[in-house]
Amino acid sequence: MKPERLVSLDAFRGFTIAGMILVNNPGSWGHIYPQLAHASWHGWTFTDFIFPFFLWIVGVSMTFSFAVRRGKGDSDNALLLGVLRRSAIIFGLGLFLAGFPFGLLWSHNFDLSTIRIPGVLQRIAVCYLIASLIYLKMSMRGQVIAIGALFVSYWLMMFYIPVPEFGAGLFEKGRNFAAYIDSMFLTGHMWGATRTWDPEGIISTIPAIATTLFGTLLGDYLRQSPHDKVEKSAWMFTAGSLFLLLGAVLDMWMPINKSLWTVSYSIFMAGWAMCIFGIFYFLIDAKGIKRWAHPLVVYGMNAIFVFVLSGVAARAMGLWKFTVTLSDGTIKDVPLKTILTQNLFEPYFSPLNASLMHAIVWVSVMYLIVWVMYKKKIFVKV
């Protein structure tokens, strides 16, 4: 029997991707409300919820998609081939965003030898690939053991392997084992804001895989549990609250940190994902209160597509420049994005709110595009 589609999961995915687009597209990076920027290092903000939510959703989704394909008679080998293909496409899209427009437009400087290799889509691809292998080859008990092994290995490396000049057990910016490994294997290919370590680097991907596996555990619970939907909502909220408590307790030994994707961060954000998704599930799937979530469902049905489209369009607006004369007579090349913010929003709002309004309008424009696609039943799958 074909598994029932979780409208709440589509809505939660839409909420997450809309949030990702919102925080990625302020009118000015110099004017951002604190909750719409990542925590400066340890700690968390609203922005730090978004990426782990998306990985957690990937885990939940795969349990339903694999069940559908198995119901059609597909073997696990066929599923693995599909996983390899999809992972390669998502990773390739991440590299495309990193390199766009490849030196072809707007005097853009491009050098393949310095292209950023890690990234959001690249991490999604890696986590999806490895979590899928674990999910397809292991029982639920095996998945729990895998999560434990991922956490223990990360914990041991971060606490006990010494970093030259700094020693072991540090979680300071650029002075920890994760940064050291990035500098060894990703030199010249890291995030432009640091160039010495990457927030989507090698070691921090290990507990991010566990975040995805937390999603597979929840997905199997939703598919297989005999509890009714209201009970499932209650259990999600209960388990999520326990995860929040555990993450907060672990924060005393290993700080909650998105850039390092620490064990405490992975557990803490899995707790938030369960609690917030539990509310979506209760309202939409258990109680049938769906109309409020329709815009989020529209977003969620083309999540990867709209993320890539938003990234390409935002990069274009930042690179496409016009020569303008400033009030002091200075002639300067100004990006289209800055011109729009200065003329459409800054005359009417404070700098912070003008920047926010640009982001809100950007989310709205992207919504109009995916709404047209939804109406025409165009769903881009990768």
Write b or e for each residue in 32-59: b if 16 or more Cβ atoms lie within 10 A of its Cβ, otherwise e: bbeebebbeebebbebbbbbbbbbbbbb
- Which band of pLDDT confidence, cut at 50, 70 and 90, is reported for residue 7? very high
8 A C-beta contact, residue 116 and residue 191: yes
Contacts of 30 (CB under 8 A, 6+ apart): 351
Same structural domain, 18 and 103: no
Same structural domain, 32 and 47: no
Tens-place pLDDT, residues 327-378:
677 888 889 999 999 999 999 999 999 999 999 999 999 999 999 999 999 9
DSSP state of 3: P
- Which band of pLDDT confidence, cut at 50, 70 and 90, is reported for residue 194? confident
**Residues written for the chain:** 382
Same structural domain, 247 and 347: no
Q: What pLDDT shows up at residue 113?
A: 87
pTM for the model: 0.95
Last residue of a domain, one of 255, 273, 288: 288
Same structural domain, 366 and 224: no
Q: What pLDDT shows up at residue 325?
A: 77
Cα within 13 Å of Cα(75), Cβ side: 3
How many domains does the chain divide into? 2
User: Residue 296 and residue 58: Cα distance in Å, rounded?
Assistant: 17
Tens-place pLDDT, residues 118-177:
999 999 999 999 999 999 999 999 999 999 999 999 999 999 999 999 999 999 999 999
Tens-place pLDDT, residues 238-270:
999 999 999 999 999 999 999 999 999 999 999
Last residue of a domain, one of 288, 311, 336: 288
Same structural domain, 187 and 266: yes
Same structural domain, 30 and 50: no
- Kindly state the percentage of the chain with pLDDT values over 90: 88
Same structural domain, 5 and 20: yes
Is residue 91 predicted with pLDDT exceeding 80?
A: yes
Mean pLDDT of 36-51: 96
Is residue 2 predicted with pLDDT exceeding 60?
A: no
Structure tokens at 209: 């895989």
Q: What pLDDT shows up at residue 3?
A: 54
User: Residue 55 and residue 90: Cα distance in Å, rounded?
Assistant: 13
Same structural domain, 16 and 6: yes
Same structural domain, 99 and 222: yes
Same structural domain, 47 and 177: yes
Distance in angstroms between the alpha carbons of the first and the last residue of the chain: 24
How does the average pLDDT of the chain come out, rounded?
Answer: 94
> Could you list the residue range(s) of the whole structural domain that residue 86 is in?
42-288
Same structural domain, 12 and 130: no
- Which band of pLDDT confidence, cut at 50, 70 and 90, is reported for residue 306? very high
Strand partners, 323: 333
Q: What pLDDT shows up at residue 4?
A: 65
